[in-house]
A and B are shown apart, each in its own frame.
Chain A
């Protein structure tokens, strides 16, 4: 029986490690040395790591140790896209991704086999596809995202319902009018022929170094396609490239009879979604955004004298794809430790008014290795229904964050909480339960100085009573 159980377990582990053996052909990026050990410690020690544990459970495909060791499935409408968008694909391959090109109606498409995901990313350059081949459908794609994988979706003016549904499920609402495209008579890209102003030169980027890299994108980005809107209350979706205030979404071939449903800078051209499990999704209303033609074409924004020899598309797309495929902005927290000041062992329970230290190491994936994450706004909470202590942690610039504080004078079951949510970064949310007990019966002060009069009173009363009894019982008067 036991033997069987062990066998079963071994077989399971074999299955898990199989894909990794396949991947070992591709060069592995170096990892931080002590991490294998510390990760083990970390996973044993911390029980309540909400979102992080999700990532941990997916180690066979996207592991924290080697996030780039990955395969990407690219689904195309037309194999011609492979050459017309080759710069983008080549840049991915150059960064170590293994691309698997398939036609979107290929009957052999499968995202997973035997419960294992075959790919770590999916690029959907098939805007017009109504049905995918094989087992792929809307549910499969959403399941793919919900299991922590990344997705790039590009639509264009003939985007199918399927693509729109995928977007809607992620919180991105493409214009419902199927014939509408984004038109901008204010900031269109200047070209030889006066067109219908559907080729837009957009330069309203999100201000985030994490998403778009530290180098500023000088040239506007060429965009030709459909716009979408986002729900402002949706905290997971970010507008990366928005249209100018003069843009609107309508059918360029017909006259405007009603006001356009989408207009102004509320139109989002390119958006990203970071799901709660840190899966990242990119939605673009334009497939041409990724094309070689747009990458290379010179650009001049209407009304502006600046003429750029090359559009900003390549830089924009490359940097954004780095973010989508977790080459930037991916944080991990390891080695969560806490102990009393002056001790090293982690206690199972604290006492009120104990002085304690809390330590955590935070690293960011830089594309090739884990580097210390440096910030001055990481805070730790000592939390029981509300934070009793909220303290900004100091860092040694080598990834180690540290805070020391006094346990409040309240007993109960507390939690060490680190809730770190910053634009573009994966959300860190660590929670670790620790009970705090009151004083033991022998931990109170034995003698309180202010109570000395009372001690004196009681002892003198006792002495007085004793003397009185003695005198009373042995006095001559009584004996007589």
Chain B
């Protein structure tokens, strides 16, 4: 259907052209609706809530922003997280998402549409995925025309990888950042095609928005220089390239430095280094081309050898200095996250805190199939299509997909960057395929219907058509730009076009292939809708499970947070593993020690150490941090597998990374992590084990069978000496403990038969403390 709009553009038929445009417009509108509505499964199946962990922080920040304004947000010192260090939110957060949502909220209120901040936040991601689909259309249109653009937009609207991060409620940076990423690429290509300074400026602004939104902006600022370098190396340098690139570096870097979280990083860190290097190179090349224009070929040769010999010396010196400077810094100027991109084993070797995050793991093969489905097979075809003919724009798309395939292989989160590239490529491939098949069918249809028209005529027609298409590709920008004639002359495309013979297939084969292609696309749609409905819509704070006796809803997290907010003092500190930090501050409004913004490894290691220590040592650590309550997530009763016991080894590793007395082998029996009777004493005495399994045997009548680990637990009956259980949720998924206060008296050491004196109930707690008197 997408291809039809293009191929129907018959010669000398402006009417048909216009109707094609209108059709394309409505298709785009429908694509937007599709992109928006496919992401509403979570709201329909669950409710309109913010999902997961980070979105809660963003939601809290947005609330603050709408309440206090931009300046207070910028200067916000949050004393409710990372106690007692606090966090300067304004300077450590990418503000793009929150500013966007707050602006939307303000605009809605200006129009007297009184939506709550939460509603706006929930629906930000679906709205922006519609934008992202349109941006994909624009980008692909620049590369391969309207047909490919529409196909790519449809594919992107429902690519499962992107859906996973942008369902309604998934209020995270990626929701707006993917749109910004694609739109920046579109503007870059647009500038490259037109050579317009206007688009170049827009490109810088779009890049600025991307920098505001997501740390993934480094992908842009490395990919575009790479493409520029590619163009230069393949001698495709043109003034348009210069206009597309130089303003982006200058304006983009200046504006990026305005974002507080980036600041001087925009010029200081190695991630941005490539852009400056290429900036220098493009100037040298521009100068060379300019001098080449002035001098005679002979003179130029002399000058070139002179410049190159001098230039090499200078370059060597500069490179040597740079290497020395970079090498003198401990991490070689790269931040840990970026290093793990280049060397996938880096993080797991040196930085457990990065390696421990699940979204930083390398993806498995099934996850490719899950996330991009049939696109995986269409991408190679798209790459081939992009090579015929190879233009600046298509070379960029090829570079984009090659780089993003690599990065997605390193870190599963970057599948998100890969997905748009895959959509574009598949859109191109599908569009070309439809083009070829329908052309063949039409060819035969014309042949049978009109006996006069020989095959050559329609062949010529087709050639013309294609030529026109190619021409229009380059003419479109020309409307605004006067320079285009010159540039078009430079293009060496003409020759290849005339030589090109359109491919005509037998009609049966075409029909059959068309049918197969449609079937393939249908599979994709079915899979995407399934993924959106079943796989990626769970908000993860509310869990459901289907069993024979119907649907079970586990709302334990909100139960626990509500308990905290109603039953504890507003200034009480709650310690938990950092996963639950954002939720605790946002939903329970209590101060936390560590949260999902894992900026301070030592602090997280302190909590990890406390969790892996025996009770008394843990009590002392927590008491020194003024902690009142400890929250653990435990899934052994209902079989919720991502609980703290399953994350415990990371606590040990991260804690041991800073405090060497915590050693991972102490928690492993023969290299195996187990919690049954074979578990090591260190493991069985650790605070995490005790807080998780305290009174656990009472749930199943003395067996103590852990449904996640599938074993009976090792130590079933024990008492807590320094902590007391204050709340356990309905399904035991969240357990909250309170630190016992220091004892009022210190007992003497006299040991006596206590049978006479301690006979009654109230002495129960005293008998506990008797075993472990502490001072």
Contacts and interface: CB of A to CB of B under 8 A. Distances in A.
A234 B775 contact: yes
Given A164-B752, A169-B745, A171-B746, A435 B571 contact: no
B689 interface: no
Contacts of B744: 145-146, 275-277, 279
Most buried by A among B71, B79, B88: B79
Interface string A154-171: 000000011011011111
A142 B763 CA distance: 10
A139 B750 contact: no
Interface string B540-574: 00000000000000000000000000000101000
A175 to B, nearest CB: 10
Contacts of A145: 744-745
Given A411-B86, A435-B79, A441-B74, A176 B750 contact: yes
Contacts of B746: 171, 231, 234-237
B486 interface: no
Interface stretch (B333-341, B477-485, B580-588, B754-762): B754-762
A170 B625 CA distance: 29
Interface in A306-352: 349
B75 interface: yes
Contacts of B86: 411-413, 435, 437
B242 interface: no
A202 B768 CA distance: 39
A138 interface: yes
Given A139-B762, A143-B762, A164-B752, A275 B75 contact: no
Interface string A283-312: 000000000000000000000000000000
B762 A411 contact: no
A139 B765 CA distance: 11
Interface centre among B77, B90, B752 (most CB of A within 10 A): B77
A273 B750 contact: no
Nearest to A234: B746
A441 B70 CA distance: 12
Contact of A173 (B88, B749, B763): B749
Given A435-B77, A441-B75, A171 B84 contact: no
A178 to B, nearest CB: 11
A169 B75 contact: no
A433 interface: yes
Given A161-B757, A162-B757, A438-B77, A169 B84 contact: no
User: Which applies to chain A's interface (DSSP): helix, strand, loop or mixed?
Assistant: mixed
Contact of B88 (A161, A170, A411, A413): A411
Given A161-B757, A435-B79, A384 B748 contact: no
A257 interface: no
Residue in B757, B760, B762 whose Cβ sees the most chain A Cβ within 10 Å: B757
A276 B743 contact: yes
Interface in B719-775: 742-750, 752, 754, 756-758, 760, 762-763, 766, 775
B756 A146 contact: no
A389 to B, nearest CB: 15
Interface residues of A, number: 48
A173 B750 contact: yes
Interface string B61-100: 0000000000100110101000111101010000000000
A474 interface: no
Contacts of B74: 441
Interface string A227-254: 0001101111100000000000000000
B84 A385 contact: yes
A9 interface: no
B14 interface: no
B758 A172 contact: no
B624 interface: yes
Contacts of A415: 84
Given A413-B85, A440-B75, A171 B752 contact: no
B620 to A, nearest CB: 13
B735 to A, nearest CB: 26
B753 to A, nearest CB: 9
Give the residue among A145, A277, A414, A441 with the most B Cβ atoms within 10 A.
A441
Contact of B748 (A142, A162, A169, A433): A169
B750 A47 contact: no
A230 B775 CA distance: 14
A185 B571 CA distance: 61
A231 B84 contact: no
A137 B79 contact: no
Interface in A35-62: 47-48
Contacts of B571: 47-48, 433
A275 B571 CA distance: 27
Given A234-B775, A275-B745, A165 B84 contact: no
Contacts of A384: 84-85
Given A47-B571, A139-B762, A279-B744, A165 B75 contact: no
Nearest to B591: A413
A277 to B, nearest CB: 5
Contacts of A441: 71, 74-75, 90
Contacts of A138: 757-758, 763
A273 B748 contact: no
A384 B624 CA distance: 10
Contact of A171 (B79, B624, B745): B745
A415 B86 CA distance: 13
A413 B84 CA distance: 5
A161 B756 contact: yes
A458 to B, nearest CB: 12
Given A146-B745, A440-B75, A441-B75, A168 B88 contact: no
Contacts of B752: 161, 164-165, 168, 176
B748 A167 contact: yes
25 contacts: A142-B766, A145-B745, A162-B756, A164-B752, A168-B747, A168-B748, A168-B750, A171-B745, A234-B746, A237-B746, A275-B744, A275-B745, A279-B744, A349-B79, A384-B85, A385-B625, A411-B77, A411-B86, A411-B88, A412-B86, A413-B79, A433-B571, A437-B75, A437-B86, A438-B77
Given A161-B752, A234-B746, 15 more contacts: A137-B760, A143-B762, A168-B747, A168-B750, A172-B748, A235-B775, A236-B745, A276-B742, A276-B744, A384-B84, A412-B84, A413-B86, A414-B84, A433-B571, A438-B88
Query: Which 6 residue pairs spanning A and B have beta carbons closest together?
Result: A437-B77, A435-B79, A173-B748, A413-B84, A168-B750, A168-B748
Interface of B: 71, 74-75, 77, 79, 83-86, 88, 90, 569, 571, 624-625, 742-750, 752, 754, 756-758, 760, 762-763, 766, 775
